[in-house]
Structure 1
Amino acid sequence: MADGQVLPPFRKLAQKQPDIEMRRTDEGVIYLTPRQTPGDRPKTIPHCLAERAQEHPDRPFIRERNPKTDAWEGLTYGEAQQVTDSLAQAFLNMGAGPDAPVMILSGNSVRSAMVILAAQKIGAPAAPISVPYSLMSTDFDKLKHCFGAVKPAVIFVEQYEPFKPALAALELGDCKVFTAEETSDDVLAYDDLAKTPATDAVTKAMDTLTDDSIGKYLFTSGSTGMPKPVPQTQGAMCSMIAGQEGLRDDARDPDHDPDAIPQALDWLPWNHISGSNVNFNGMLWAGGTFWIDGGKPTPALFHVTLKNLKEVSPHSFGTAPIALSMLAEAMEEDEELLNAFFKNVRAVGYGGATLSDDLYDRIQDLAIKATGKRIPIVTMYGATETQGITVVHWEAERVGLIGLPLPGMTIKLVPVGAKLEVRVKGPSVMPGYLNMPSKNAEVFDEEGFYCLGDAAIMVDENDPNKGIIFDGRVGEDFKLSSGTWVSVGTLRPDFNAALSPLVFDSVICGQDKNYIGALIWPSPATMEHMIKDKGSPEAAMMALYGELEKKAKAFNAAEPGSSRRIKRIKVLTEPPSIDAGEITDKGYVNQRATQDHRAKDVADLFTDPAPQGVLVL
């Protein structure tokens, strides 16, 4: 959008506007609490399903594409209630219960959703595990760790054969395995279990559920050591819903249709809170239809998302910034996609990384073209241990915000060195990691606030209603030899954006050094295109270095100080390793683990003269 251009109004969000109470202490600690109170919520997630099934049994609840026919298939709310009753009885028969979870190794599917909901009905925690732990790992150490931590009575895999090596690595003992795939091995069949006659034992088990009942175990990303098991209580999950309901204000949206059935298209994995506790549970509460997106923000799969968007036209859509960049590029070339995407969507959500100003402007230009209005671009900030903490619930004119606390939550900003560490207290915060008392003592402060290790700053120190901005990880920042602090959490996304679309991600290095260096992974799509264009991988790599040099020099020219200038770059050709902890299953690159694992590459950045393969800027 051109400077000085008079911009159209935003499409209104059906959300209350910020109203934050702020308190400061003499020590510089800031407390931020919403004046809005939490709204309605279900008793538990299984009770929510039962209510929706009674209200509209024939309404489509969850749908996915049949890989053989490509047609959308799924279950209504009434059918889901029946299937989960039968599975719950089968799980009881197999010994599942509050101390004997049901583990899910495969990814999002209609059957996985039924398994997760059925386990919760009888108080057996569902434990969805990151798929790469089974299919991308070579040592299965993280999978074995997760299995040992929760000790499941039952394991579900959608397809048996791909998971067979992972299952063989586990000491299953009495743990039973079931699958949707026909096999001659001694495993149970999903279809048989889904026909188990339910007894009143299921109802009695569900009647005992309280806020303290554990509905799931979700594991942290493993960016610092092995993944930690986080109990997701029914109270915490339902408080997440209540917090969002406390901000709801349908009257603010003049286009709100109370009879419209919400539609969500989503790929985010259910072993994380965003996909599972925010998006999936939220759509269940809304009584809408959840369409499982088989696409992902990768060059090989994003075309599936584009096809799905044309067919579904969802009311809600959120993804990673890299996917929004791919979506914007596609909509700029495809008017049918443009109109289908903006037909119903009320806001565009993003998470996992910062959105660049350039991408923000491109999305707004497309929204104006399709609707005549700008679209609210929002995000939610949280953690496995806390559910969602903050949300952007107003039509913000800028990017980089992580919003303000949800009703029921209190944010505490505590000075730690040069930064303000984010701490949180509220009904959606975990009671503590499973069987990790010493770790629990570390992560809660003297007032009972959970310490996230992230930093944030206020947009306006005198007006909390302007929101807060993510300011990186407290432990990722470092000092140069000059004593100058480098904020990795802000530099890395800005540098990546400046090098877009050449770079998948980067690692910022330079602790106690004279300057900053960066290790980068090139974008697979960019490399594929360059190899086709240049004729060979060698020629493509030379071209890549040339483009990197131009973009990096332009980035440096706009930066005033040494804490923001990248002096050397080395391109990594070996992809990040999940076994080495370089990349989490959420796709987040662990800066410290990567530097430890690639000490030789880091040393190359600071060797004089620079060795071959190191770009000097």
Structure 2
Amino acid sequence: MYDFFDDPAKLAPAHVILEPGEAGSFILRSGEQLQPYARCIGEWLEQWAREAPLRPYLAERRNGVWFTLNYSEVRQRVGALAQGLLELDTVPGRPVLVLSENDIDQALITLAAMHVGIAVATVSVAYSRNTQSGCSKLKSIVAQLQPALIFINDGDTYRRAIELIQPDCPVVVARNAQAVPGALPLPLIYRVESAQVMETYLRLDGDVPARYMLTSGSTGTPKVVINTHRMLCANQQSIAQCWRFLEGSEMVVVDWLPWSHTFAANHNFNMVLRNGGTLYIDDGLPVTGRIERTVENIKSVQPTVFFNVPRGYEALLPYLERDEELAQALFGRLDMLFYAAAALPQNTWDRLMACAEKVRDKPLFFTSEWGATETSPVLTNVHYRLDKPGNIGLPVPGVEIKFVPSGDKLEMRVRGPSVFQQYFNDSKGSLEAFDEQGFYQIGDAGRLLDPERPEKGIVFDGRVTEDFKLTTGTWVSVGTLRPRLVSALAPYASDSVICGHDRDVIGALIYPTPALRALAGAPGKRMTAEQLALEPAVRRALSAGLQTLAQQFPASSQHAVRMVILDSPPSLDDGEITDKGYINQRAALGLRADAVKRLYAETLDPAVILLDEAYGERK
């Protein structure tokens, strides 16, 4: 019987080289050499416009139906927009700054800018829509980048942000330009393409910046990472050598993930273009009131590759479990299901697999990777069968990973053609980011699943900077504990913040799900977190989850003994969560300082839920 996982034409064999180092360190690299790759992003667009001009490339919902552009139409519009950008005399080194959400117009102006060597910086819409705070973060970004041009897709939506930042560069607006005084309507930027466009394109080399990406903030103050064409093209070549089935697959993707982050922009968007696929821009979101649109879009598109973050799968799962038509649409012709950005709870993995097994006979390729904004983004790739989450794969061709002892962990440091060289206008930060051998110090920890057989992959071991010690001197691995806790509490917690620094026991703050509110008997009623925590059914369920985790992992450093329910979801605006769905521990602990105090108050707060409550022994 044919097995996708054993077909070397579909997935690269697991082959690595381990080079021992000093003091317990070692370097891991792929056994496969990185093959030649494109000179610049535009080469992919030129290729598919020539080889498959009528194949659909970009699609979005307009008036309830899919509006689609094929490769020939996209190339024609990109050329016309690139001509317009050149005629605006954009200053070299100053990017096009995008403030609005994913849509075709943003894709076109992004491709046009990169086609003629102009970098693009897309920032989170949280910065441009949070006008009540005065757009302070956006102002600092504009001051730092000094953009040559600002693009927004709708004047009505982003008028106030433009008023607050008062840019000294042209503002281009796709719709309702009249709402922004002095703005240029996007149709006026389209010009008849001249030979200047291709002449400029042919002069580009791999060192030209393609994107300026803001870091997520999970490691501190956001920095601006320069992603060159070489970095992005090398990275896609590395991925293609691992997932060989992508070549010629005409992949079909429906994706909501924001292009302000490397996962969506450099990974997903570039993968579709590099492999001549079709990208349906999902106008849904994994939140109440928007997830229904994602469900509708999946049914309509029936993707062959599907990307998401754990938070997105958590929102989608209740629909998949009760709607076989949706499950068939998602899993029926799927080549690959992918998760990234944060640790996936085991419970989420199991539920997704169960949904897939109901509608397909062949095994599901459920996979993941590991990387960062600074690495454009992929460093490791899973190109073999997995039976549970946590394995982040093996180094992709061209990338070296150095494992360095750090306390009781191994810190991972990385080097390769897809790893950045510098932050924008930050020479000191750039220098400090690398060790003496030129390895980027990413701050994550990892270990070999089987030290005797390194080809079995690397297990993610959390962030080195997130971990802390209890007063007993025992280290707590936050990155390991958090997904375990969420799984033990399923389906009642969407995520958690681990507490216990300079304490004798571990505590947790949890973000409740609608299922927890339903357990309280008031799914449609607004209850405060304190009211929710006082409900007997809620207390029993959460305490039982704590007890389950303690039974599985009895060591004091591996389970929580007390818990507080949070009253609001994680805040993207305040940096508590990134667009990729990863909880920023440091930011969350600062923002939720009052909840942490309640968790450890000398006089026990009635809303604190304890491990031993399952046995009626509240102390």
TM-based fold match above 0.5: yes
What are the ranges of 5 or more consecutive residues in structure 1 without an aligned counterpart? 1-6, 251-255
Q: Give SS of 2:169's match.
A: coil
Q: TM-score, with normalisation over the residues of structure 2?
A: 0.92
2:116 corresponds, among 122, 143, 160, to 122
Q: 1:537: Cα distance to partner?
A: 1.9
Shift in alpha-carbon separation, 1:530–1:198, aligned structure 2, 3 A: farther
Q: Is the 8 A contact 1:297 1:320 kept in 2?
A: no
CA distance in 2, matches of 1:532, 1:602: 27
Q: Is the 8 A contact 1:139 1:579 kept in 2?
A: no
Q: Is the 8 A contact 1:39 1:245 kept in 2?
A: no
Q: 1:399: Cα distance to partner?
A: 2.0
Q: Give SS of 2:105's match.
A: helix
CA distance in 2, matches of 1:449, 1:61: 37
Tell whether 2:447 aligns with 1:457. Answer: yes
Corresponding position of 1:333: 322
CA distance in 1, matches of 2:524, 2:124: 37
Corresponding position of 1:211: 206
Shift in alpha-carbon separation, 1:334–1:579, aligned structure 2, 3 A: closer
2:556 corresponds, among 537, 562, 578, to 562
Q: Spell out the pairing of 1:521-560 with structure 2 (5 A cutoff).
A: 521-523=511-513, 526-527=516-517, 530=520, 532-533=522-523, 537=527, 540-543=532-535, 544-560=538-554
Counterpart code for 1:555: L
Q: 1:260: Cα distance to partner?
A: 5.4
Corresponding position of 2:160: 165
Q: Give SS of 1:57's match.
A: coil
Q: Give SS of 2:280's match.
A: strand
Counterpart code for 2:280: W
2:609 corresponds, among 586, 609, 615, to 615
Q: Spell out the pairing of 1:83-482 with structure 2 (5 A cutoff).
A: 83-136=77-130, 138-184=133-179, 185-194=181-190, 196-250=191-245, 261-386=250-375, 387-482=377-472
Q: Is the 8 A contact 1:40 1:246 kept in 2?
A: no
CA distance in 2, matches of 1:370, 1:481: 50
Q: Give SS of 2:271's match.
A: helix
Quick check: 208-217 or 167-176, which moved more?
167-176
Q: Is the 8 A contact 1:40 1:245 kept in 2?
A: no
Q: TM-score, with normalisation over the residues of structure 1?
A: 0.92
CA distance in 2, matches of 1:12, 1:108: 37
Quick check: 381-390 or 325-334, which moved more?
325-334
CA distance in 1, matches of 2:518, 2:108: 39
What are the ranges of 5 or more consecutive residues in structure 2 without an aligned counterpart? 612-619
Q: 1:31: Cα distance to partner?
A: 0.5
Counterpart code for 1:518: A
Q: Is the 8 A contact 1:534 1:540 kept in 2?
A: no
Corresponding position of 1:253: none
Counterpart code for 1:606: Y
Q: Deviations over 1:377-409 (max 9, x none)?
A: 100110000021001011123321010111111
Q: Give SS of 2:178's match.
A: coil
Corresponding position of 2:614: none
Q: Give SS of 1:514's match.
A: coil
Quick check: 357-366 or 521-530, which moved more?
521-530
CA distance in 2, matches of 1:171, 1:260: 46
CA distance in 2, matches of 1:490, 1:139: 38
Quick check: 535-544 or 130-139, which moved more?
535-544
Tell whether 2:43 aligns with 1:47. Answer: yes
Q: 1:213: Cα distance to partner?
A: 0.5
Quick check: 424-433 or 300-309, which moved more?
300-309
Counterpart code for 1:42: A
Shift in alpha-carbon separation, 1:248–1:95, aligned structure 2, 3 A: same
Q: Is the 8 A contact 1:610 1:616 kept in 2?
A: no
Quick check: 270-279 or 448-457, which moved more?
270-279
Q: 1:445: Cα distance to partner?
A: 0.5
Q: 1:536: Cα distance to partner?
A: 5.7
Q: 1:223: Cα distance to partner?
A: 2.7
Quick check: 322-331 or 146-155, which moved more?
322-331
**RMSD, aligned CA:** 2.3
Quick check: 302-311 or 429-438, which moved more?
302-311
CA distance in 2, matches of 1:64, 1:468: 37
CA distance in 1, matches of 2:87, 2:276: 30
Quick check: 17-26 or 600-609, which moved more?
600-609
Q: Deviations over 1:318-350 (max 9, x none)?
A: 212233344443233222222222222112111
